[in-house]
Amino acid sequence: MSHQTLMAILILSPLVGFLINGFRYKKHSAELSGSIATGAAVISFIAALLMVIDLIGLPPEERKIIVHFFDWIAVDRLKISAGFTIDQISAIMVLVVTGVGSLIHLFSIGYMHHDKGVAKYFAYLNLFLFNMLLLVLGDNLLVMFVGWEGVGLCSYLLIGFWFTDKEKAAAGMKAFVTNRIGDAAFLLGMFVLFLTFGTLNFQEINHMVPTTSELTWLAPITLATLFLFIGATGKSAQIPLYVWLPDAMAGPTPVSALIHAATMVTAGVYMIIRLNPLFLAAPNTMAIIAGIGGLTAVMAASIGMTQWDIKKVLAYSTVSQLGYMFLACGVGAFGAALFHLMTHAFFKALMFLGSGSVIHAMHEEQDIRKMGGLRKYLPYTHLTFLIGWLAIIGVPPFAGFFSKDEILWQAFHSPRGHWALWAMGALGAVMTAFYMTRLMALTFWGKSRVPKETHPHESPWIMLLPLIVLAILSAVGGWVGIPHVISEILPGQPGNLLETWLEPVIKSVPGVAEGDPTQEWSLMGVSVTLAVISALLAYHFYVRDPSKPKKVAESLGKFYELVYNKYFVDEAYFGWIINPLVSLSKGIWYYIDVNFIDKTTYVVADLVRGGGQFVRGVQNGNIQQYAMYIGLGVVATMTYVLMR
């Protein structure tokens, strides 16, 4: 098959699935709807796999498959084609999206079994996949933007899937609007780029980027990258636009796994990696990205330590892990960011699906205070969750260890890095180990606090299968990016496969020095040790001595309150931005529209009417008076004529 056909199948298969399920939106059969949707996703995955195999067959420098379908917009110099590219970066991403996506579709068949709107659900899920593929594969910024907004839309639909609940509908809207703020900035970024380079095509832009870095803040590339980064903070839930993601947990759990953990939220990171030469040319932007990333990683992790909702904990964990990815981008370690994106997709999807399995077992209960000791009821779920836990807290040789370690090392070592960034990353890692262990302990270990009327049961195989596959990936997925220092001591010296693969498309930071192996080893040792200590501490707190956490929380007092209430960011946004805006709008409507403009026109109308009344008085139907006017007129005329 030609690449054009393959690409068409890859992209359109989910769209076809969406249309089929969309037209049978009233049907209730989860098996049938789910099979159609899963089939569509799997077909996409196979097509992607075939393309990537072809890609591997090409020599490293020419690994690029470009397919052009039609000209989308052609106005003046703006020529946007509906074109798609698979290269080293999008290859990884497309496999993750379709692969993890297929697994989550499969899981959904079990999870959504009893839901009435199941056909609608799968239609949305397919639509999401379609848009995500546009985002990943688009060969210019505008096609990416189509997917970018499209996934936001699907996210809106899926968060508000149970729309009869007002809270859930509101969460969907919050997600869309917050994303829209980012999207507006994204648009501005595109404008700056277009006016600077005259194109929006990724290859062309990356080619044209000057080799010298910009040092001022308002230079075009810095400005463009800043705008694009604001766009990324919206989509990828970074400070200050992260607030939507925790609320997005209102959606069905598989959706949280697919959209709000594995794929959509990583779009911002992906976009930055796509344009890495451009971002490298703007050191100021990079510094901001690294700072925001580090800050988000720490802040979200700290909130995660206090939450009681199993999905909220995972949501804040996602925000925090995304912070890591931005930290990596900010220090110029784009490869590490992509690596972490991939491993995170595996273990976070695993954990979300695991939590889905738990929630399913607990009959829609999400509060971890009402769980505990679930290990014996849900053995498989516990086992897979355990692997996810090991991966996220960075225990070697699980996937998270390699990618997180790479980021921390780069944060310290890269010329754009700083010890403070490393410290933030390490602090985040320590907190991650704590809250994840806490989650494990409260959910699966210790004494059971399950209410008597609930009888937890293990999920059916259709839900366990994806868990097992993802658990395997979380365990071994990191082995494609083994750092050189470790690779050297391993038998056969496998080397860093990922780095070699990405080498032609990812520019390295100028002036990067050869790493000092001792330093790298010791940093690795420090972060792993700290994480393990933190995990043990959490284990002690929540399994051995369950009364301790309360005491600690009380001793922290106000500070604990602050963190528990998520630093009151939502309240601040509502109090300082949204409510004043609504009042302002009501004000301008009432005072300007109704009272000023309309009243002014009424005044004008009254003046005209008054003038008419006055003139009307002259014409009163009294002939004698008319005659007098005639007489006066004659006199006046005569006077004028005679006196002239």
Partner 1 sequence: MPSSDLFLEVGLSHYLVLSAILFVAGMAGVLLRRNAIVILMSVELMLNAVNLSFVAFSHYMGQMDGQIMVFFVMTIAAAEVSVGLAILVSIFKRYKEVNIRFFEHLKG
Partner 2 sequence: MILSAITFLPLLFALVVLLWPNTKTLRHLALGLSIIEFLASLAMLAHFDSSTASLQMVERFTWIERFGISYFLGLDGLSLWLIMLTTFLTPIVLLGSWNSIQDRVKGFLVSVFVLQTAMIGTFLAMDAIFFYLFWELSLVPMYFMIGIWGGQRRIYATVKFFIYTMLGSVLMLVAIIYLMFMTQETLGTMSASLLDFYRLKIPFIGGQFFTLQTLLFFAFALAFSIKVPVFPFHTWLPDAHVEAPTPGSVILAGVMLKMGTYGFLRWTIPLFPEASEYWAWLFMTVGVIGIVYGALVAMVQPDIKKLVAYSSVSHMGYILLGLFTFNQFGMTGSLYQMLNHGVSTGALFLLVGMIYERTHSREISKYGGLAGVLPLFTIAFFIITLSSIAVPMTNGFIGEFLILLGSFKAEKAFAYVAVTGVVLGAVYMLWMFKRVFFGEKGELVKDEHHPLHDLSCREICVLVPMVVMVFWMGLFPNHFLDFSKASLDHLVADRSNYQLAIMGDKAEVKAATTAFNKAEASQ
d(CA 549, CA 643): 110
Q: How far is the CB of 611 from partner 1 (least distance, A)?
A: 16
Residues from 5 through 34 that contact partner 2 (CB under 8 A): 25-26
Tell me if 82 sits within 8 A of 70, measured CB to CB: yes
Residues from 306 through 365 that contact partner 2 (CB under 8 A): none
**Mode of pairing for the β-strands spanning 78-87 and 64-75:** antiparallel
Q: 156 vs 398, which CB is nearer to partner 2?
A: 156
Per partner kind, with CB cut-offs from 5 to 8 A, the member of partner 2, partner 1, none near residue 146 is partner 2
Other beta carbons within 10 Å of 455:
10
Which residue is associated with the tokens 């580090």? 294
CA dist 323 → 300, 335, 429, 589 (Å): 9, 15, 11, 41
Q: How far is the CB of 640 from partner 1 (least distance, A)?
A: 19
For position 428 contacting partner 2 by CB under 8 A, the verdict is: no
The amino acid at 65: I
Q: 66 vs 177, which CB is nearer to partner 2?
A: 177
For position 606 contacting partner 2 by CB under 8 A, the verdict is: no
* Number of residues near partner 2 (by CB under 8 A): 53
CA nearest 307: which of 439, 174, 475?
A: 439
Per partner kind, with CB cut-offs from 5 to 8 A, the member of partner 1, partner 2, none near residue 427 is none
Q: How far is the CB of 316 from partner 2 (least distance, A)?
A: 25
Tell me if 202 sits within 8 A of 228, measured CB to CB: no
For position 170 contacting partner 2 by CB under 8 A, the verdict is: yes
Query: Of 56, 215, 497, 584, which lies in the binding site for partner 2, with binding defined by CB under 8 A?
Result: 584
**In sequence order, which residues have a C-beta less than 8 Å from that of residue 108 and are 6 or more positions away?**
34, 37, 121, 122, 125, 252, 254
Q: Which two tokens stand for residue 309?
A: 């909702």
Binding mask 543-582 for partner 2 (x = CB under 8 A): --------------------------------------xx
Q: 196 vs 448, which CB is nearer to partner 2?
A: 196
Q: How far is the CB of 629 from partner 1 (least distance, A)?
A: 10
Q: Which long-range contacts (CB under 8 A, 24 or more apart) does 573-580 make?
A: 573/243
First-to-final CA distance of the chain:
103
Q: Which two tokens stand for residue 181?
A: 């703020």
Per partner kind, with CB cut-offs from 5 to 8 A, the member of partner 1, partner 2, none near residue 616 is partner 1
Where along the sequence are the contacts to partner 1 (CB under 8 A)?
A: 616, 619-624, 627-628, 631
Q: 187 vs 219, which CB is nearer to partner 2?
A: 187
Q: How far is the CB of 593 from partner 1 (least distance, A)?
A: 37
Which residue is associated with the tokens 């959706």? 255
Tell me if 203 sits within 8 A of 504, measured CB to CB: no
Per partner kind, with CB cut-offs from 5 to 8 A, the member of partner 2, partner 1, none near residue 628 is partner 1
CA dist 276 → 62, 155, 329 (Å): 18, 27, 8
Tell me if 402 sits within 8 A of 339, measured CB to CB: yes
Q: Give Cα 489 to chain centroid, integer Å.
A: 38
Q: How far is the CB of 243 from partner 2 (least distance, A)?
A: 15
**78 — alpha (psi -120 to 50), left (phi > 0) or beta?**
beta
Q: Which residues of the chain form contacts with partner 2 (CB under 8 A)?
A: 25-26, 70-76, 78, 142, 145-146, 149-150, 153, 156, 160, 163-166, 169-170, 172-173, 176-177, 180-181, 183-185, 187-188, 190-192, 194-195, 581-582, 584-586, 588-589, 592-593, 597-598, 601, 605
